Chains A and B, each alone.
Chain A
Amino acid sequence: MDAQPGLTFEDLRVGEEYDSPGRTVTEADIVIFAGLSGDYNVLHTDAEYMKSSFFGERIAHGLLVLSIQQGLLERGRPARAREMLVGIKWKFKGPVKIGDTLHVRARITALRDSDTLGWGTVLVEREVVNQLGEVVQSGETEHLVGHRPG
């Protein structure tokens, strides 16, 4: 038995796909995130100002949506015994508004040995999709996942 439950590098396959559950982004999410992060930009907090803006209403912080997709993906794929996030390349493609429902599609695109003994490198492509099927954020993350012990 592994010391910690969950998948190891050897259990992963290129092309493996994950679909997360959905989550509706609420006004409360945005208000709490503004308070927690200290980012009170009018884009996220001033409903009146945003009525006359390009977006027409408040939009969620890009980093809130990035964080939510991470949470959704963790619920939508089997747990890994040991994992570290190494890097991310990310694009914010469209706004997320109050009431939008998001889910995440992710796919393993590469597996290779890493320079760090006991760990393998995993590349994952991710898309955050809203209820209209529009991709609002997308990018690639690089992870280290622990090899099977022994």
Chain B
Amino acid sequence: MATPNQFYFEDVEIGKVLETPAMTVTDAHVALYGGLVGVAAGPGGVQDFLPLCLSSGLGWRVPQPPVVVLAFMGFDWKFLQPARVGDTIRSASKTVAKRLLKESGVIIEERTILNQRDEILQSGKLTLLVARRPVP
């Protein structure tokens, strides 16, 4: 059984859409991130990878226990519109494929990052290695 606060490979449902809470991107995010990683802001005044980084934290705040992610394996991503300081972003995701391995499982997740006008800023597919439910 999954513990009450964790989801395993077996608990992940294909096609179920999960939407995160929203977060307003501020000058403070841009300055902190820019200082940490040394990346200049993109055309909209927000670094290209910052919305994706913020969505990784927002993903923990969905109305479902967190999936036990063992590793982020890769992603394929498009930047459709620049994010701007003051935009309030959120992400919507769903699992589109699952593959069971020996001791873990791989899930493919489709994710979009939207702004306050429901415009898609970025979207793509993420591949995650997740834990199987432990045998009691």
* A40 close to B (CB within 8 Å): yes
Q: How far is the CB of A19 from chain B (nearest CB, A)?
A: 16
B60-A38 in contact (CB<8A): yes
Query: What is the bound-complex CA distance between A90 and B75, given in angstroms?
Result: 5
Counting chain B CB atoms within 10 Å of each CB, which of A36, A68, A91 scores highest? A36
Query: What is the bound-complex CA distance between A89 and B54, given in angstroms?
Result: 19
Query: What is the bound-complex CA distance between A145 and B123, given in angstroms?
Result: 21
Pick the interface stretch among A7-15, A57-65, A106-114.
A57-65
B74-A39 in contact (CB<8A): no
Q: How far is the CB of A59 from chain B (nearest CB, A)?
A: 9
A67-B39 in contact (CB<8A): yes
Pick the interface stretch among B10-18, B28-36, B93-101, B105-113.
B28-36
Q: How far is the CB of A82 from chain B (nearest CB, A)?
A: 9
Q: How far is the CB of A98 from chain B (nearest CB, A)?
A: 15
B37-A67 in contact (CB<8A): yes
* Candidates A36, A43, A64, A92; contact of B74 at CB < 8 Å: A92
* Candidates B39, B43, B57; contact of A74 at CB < 8 Å: B39
B49-A67 in contact (CB<8A): yes
- Scan residues 133-150 of chain A and give those whose CB is less than 8 A from a CB of chain B: 139
Q: How far is the CB of A74 from chain B (nearest CB, A)?
A: 6
Chain B residue contacts of A39, Cβ below 8 A? 53, 56-57, 59-60
* B76 close to A (CB within 8 Å): yes
Counting chain B CB atoms within 10 Å of each CB, which of A33, A63, A91 scores highest? A63
With A67-B53, A86-B79 in contact, do A74 and B40 touch (Cβ < 8 Å)? yes
- Scan residues 30-79 of chain B and give those whose CB is less than 8 A from a CB of chain A: 32-33, 36-40, 42-43, 47-49, 52-54, 56-61, 69-79
* Candidates B32, B40, B49, B76; contact of A66 at CB < 8 Å: B49
A37-B42 in contact (CB<8A): no
Q: How far is the CB of A93 from chain B (nearest CB, A)?
A: 9
* Candidates A29, A62, A71, A85; contact of B72 at CB < 8 Å: A62
Query: What is the bound-complex CA distance between A90 and B7, given in angstroms?
Result: 26
With A67-B53, A84-B79, A86-B78 in contact, do A33 and B60 touch (Cβ < 8 Å)? no
Partner-B contacts on A (CB < 8 A): 29, 32-33, 36-41, 43, 54, 61-64, 66-68, 70-72, 74-75, 84-92, 139
Instruction: In the A-B complex, list the 7 residue pairs whose CB atoms are closest, starting with the nearest.
Output: A38-B57, A71-B38, A67-B37, A62-B72, A91-B74, A37-B57, A39-B56
